[in-house]
Amino acid sequence: MRYIKLILLGILAVLVIVIVLQNTETVQTNILFVEMSMPIAVLLIGTIFIGFLLGYFARVVKAGRPKKKE
């Protein structure tokens, strides 16, 4: 099972790299009332990073709760 997870993680990483490398055009975006110009790749990497952080923190918070006894 461990190897399957590693293989799937590797495939996901390759797909993310391919998608990011194909999106190098510069775009205008608004982030909290600030207009910025950045490559789509940077925007994608930032969004993916924030998603991983939110998932990690959700897991940590869920693991820290005591289990309810029924």
3-state secondary structure 7-40: HHHHHHHHHHHHHHHHCCCEEEEEECCEEEEEEH
Confirm whether 48 is domain-assigned.
Answer: yes
Tell me how many domains the chain contains.
1
Instruction: Show the domain range for 29.
Output: 2-64
Distance separating alpha carbons of residues 23 and 21, to the nearest angstrom:
5
Confirm whether 69 is domain-assigned.
Answer: no
Q: Decide if pLDDT at 67 tops 70.
A: no
Higher pLDDT, 68 or 55: 55
Q: Could you read off the pLDDT of 5-60 as tens digits, one per residue?
A: 899 999 988 998 888 788 888 999 888 888 989 988 888 888 889 999 999 998 88
How many alpha carbons fall within 13 Å on the CB side of residue 19? 11
Binned at pLDDT 50, 70 and 90, residue 69 comes out as low
Q: Decide if pLDDT at 66 tops 90.
A: no
